[in-house]
């Protein structure tokens, strides 16, 4: 396709490539870069807000008005940045990129804020046990699966806890304390409320915040180079596809529709246009998913040394206590299960163990289909 296009352009114009969309790409590029940087920086307001919720002793606690404050901030933030490209009358390419990026940042900010808000509430519950008030909550702490605790054992423990009496606060204190520790035990809340930790999360190819992620000891700069090169190559193919097979069809159909005299002829032109665009749009969508979920996120996974640990998805290792750290992350961040209720990033859920097992089976099969060269996409 590329070779045919280059030969035709060379014959017609004398140049191998006809970059008719170059003006669209460069028109608002500097303004968009500055605004995009400001947009990403403003998500960091969640960090001081979460510190405020943690240190508050009154209405600003997360369980009181802290969550509502965060929701209002996120709503105002989303409204501001969604309308900005249209107010500034950017080109459609700049609007699409900026909108997609702000939605990703919005989901990251939401996960970060609500998970840390849940941990702030857990820390306050733990502190309250030193001087328990009459109305202090003694509800059981949330238990997350880990690489050392198979899923079946979690269910058995929860059933035992439901039937057993709350014979002491020692177990509750221990459970609450364990909830504040990362799955690998190297970081605890609130030591994660730092600018460095938040910036690291922004670079991670995931929308789910965790105190700590599985990582390798080193990064492959050759892998980063090839994936970065692939990003440029896929974008080039997207440009060629749109210029040669999408834009000319749309321009031709628009001209033909202007000269139609009745709706019947217009409907035929519309149907023909849709038919001609089916394959080019399918190719474009596949290329978009390839460049985002394979190469772009794969490059960021390699840069941050995260999610690159080889993963075994065989039936024998499904409940293996020696599962890899990636397996532990998927269990804690992706599949939280109990027989009654559970919490995912601070949100109450109800899910049965059988459903959770099938969900995790689906995750493992996804990792089989997309091998460990870049498994990070499944967490995005």
- The answer to whether residues 175 and 320 belong to one domain is yes
**Which of 109, 138, 167 is the endpoint of a domain?**
138
Stronger pLDDT, 220 or 3, i.e. the higher one: 220
Residue 53 has pLDDT above 60, yes or no: yes
- The answer to whether residues 262 and 298 belong to one domain is yes
Average pLDDT for 335-346: 40
Share of the chain above pLDDT 90, in %: 24
- The answer to whether residues 29 and 134 belong to one domain is yes
Give a yes or no: residue 125 inside a domain. Answer: yes
- The answer to whether residues 72 and 117 belong to one domain is yes
Give a yes or no: residue 263 inside a domain. Answer: yes
- The answer to whether residues 160 and 239 belong to one domain is no
Residue 254 has pLDDT above 50, yes or no: yes
Q: Look at 50-59, 216-225, 229-238, 338-347 and tell me which has the smallest mean pLDDT.
A: 338-347
Give a yes or no: residue 127 inside a domain. Answer: yes
- The answer to whether residues 131 and 29 belong to one domain is yes
Q: Sign of the CA dihedral 186, 189, 191, 195?
A: positive
Per-residue model confidence (pLDDT) at position 142:
59
Question: For residue range 7-42, what is the model confidence (pLDDT) as tens digits?
Answer: 777 777 666 666 666 677 778 889 999 999 999 999
CB atoms within 10 A of CB 300: 20
- Domain range for residue 68? 22-138
Give a yes or no: residue 372 inside a domain. Answer: yes
Give a yes or no: residue 339 inside a domain. Answer: yes
Per-residue model confidence (pLDDT) at position 139:
62
**Which of 138, 165, 199 is the endpoint of a domain?**
138
- The answer to whether residues 126 and 94 belong to one domain is yes
Give a yes or no: residue 297 inside a domain. Answer: yes
- The answer to whether residues 170 and 30 belong to one domain is no
Residue 297 — pLDDT band, cuts 50, 70, 90? Answer: confident
**Taking the chain, what is the end-to-end CA distance rounded to the nearest angstrom?**
32
Give a yes or no: residue 4 inside a domain. Answer: no
- The answer to whether residues 46 and 89 belong to one domain is yes
Question: For residue range 79-109, what is the model confidence (pLDDT) as tens digits?
Answer: 999 999 999 989 888 898 899 999 999 999 9
Per-residue model confidence (pLDDT) at position 126:
86
pTM assigned to the model: 0.69
Per-residue model confidence (pLDDT) at position 343:
43
Question: For residue range 107-126, what is the model confidence (pLDDT) as tens digits?
Answer: 999 999 999 999 999 998 88
Give a yes or no: residue 198 inside a domain. Answer: no
Per-residue model confidence (pLDDT) at position 191:
92
- The answer to whether residues 31 and 84 belong to one domain is yes
**Which of 303, 319, 339 is the endpoint of a domain?**
303
- Contact by Cβ (8 Å): 185, 358: no
Structure-token pair, residue 310 = 């080889």
What is the count of structural domains for the chain? 3
Residue 43 has pLDDT above 90, yes or no: yes
- The answer to whether residues 42 and 65 belong to one domain is yes
- The answer to whether residues 296 and 317 belong to one domain is no
Residue 186 — pLDDT band, cuts 50, 70, 90? Answer: confident
């Amino acid at each position: 396709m590329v070779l045919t296009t280059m030969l035709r352009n060379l014959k017609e114009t004398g140049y191998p490539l006809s970059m008719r969309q170059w003006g669209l790409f460069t028109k608002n590029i500097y303004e968009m870069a500055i605004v995009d940087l400001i947009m990403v920086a403003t998500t960091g307001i969640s960090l001081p807000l979460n510190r405020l919720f943690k240190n508050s002793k009154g209405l600003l606690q997360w369980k009181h008005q802290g969550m509502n404050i965060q929701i209002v901030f996120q709503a105002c933030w989303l409204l501001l940045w969604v309308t900005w490209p249209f107010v500034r009358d950017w080109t459609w390419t700049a609007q699409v990129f900026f909108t997609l990026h702000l939605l990703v940042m919005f989901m990251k900010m939401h996960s970060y804020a609500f998970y840390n808000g849940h941990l702030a509430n857990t820390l306050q519950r733990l502190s309250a046990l030193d001087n328990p008030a009459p109305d202090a909550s003694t509800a059981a702490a949330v238990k997350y699966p880990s690489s050392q605790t198979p899923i079946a054992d979690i269910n058995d423990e929860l059933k035992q806890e439901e039937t057993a009496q709350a014979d002491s606060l020692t177990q509750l204190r221990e459970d609450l304390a364990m909830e504040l520790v990362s799955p690998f035990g190297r970081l605890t809340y609130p030591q994660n409320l730092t600018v460095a930790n938040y910036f690291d999360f922004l670079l991670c190819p995931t929308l789910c915040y965790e105190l700590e992620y599985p990582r390798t000891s080193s990064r492959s700069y050759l892998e980063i180079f090839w994936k970065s090169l692939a990003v440029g190559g896929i974008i080039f193919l997207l440009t060629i596809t749109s210029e040669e097979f999408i834009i000319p069809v749309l321009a031709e159909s628009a001209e033909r529709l202007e000269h139609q005299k009745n709706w019947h002829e217009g409907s035929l032109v519309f149907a023909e246009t849709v038919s001609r665009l089916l394959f080019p749009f399918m190719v474009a969508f596949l290329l978009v998913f390839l460049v985002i979920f394979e190469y772009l996120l794969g490059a960021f996974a390699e840069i941050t040394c995260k999610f690159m640990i080889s993963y075994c998805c065989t039936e024998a290792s499904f409940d293996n206590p020696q599962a890899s750290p990636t397996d532990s992350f998927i269990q804690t961040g992706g599949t939280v299960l109990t027989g009654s209720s559970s919490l995912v990033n601070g949100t109450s859920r109800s899910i049965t163990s059988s459903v959770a097992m099938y969900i995790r089976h689906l995750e493992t099969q996804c990792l089989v289909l997309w091998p460990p060269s870049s498994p990070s996409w499944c967490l995005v």
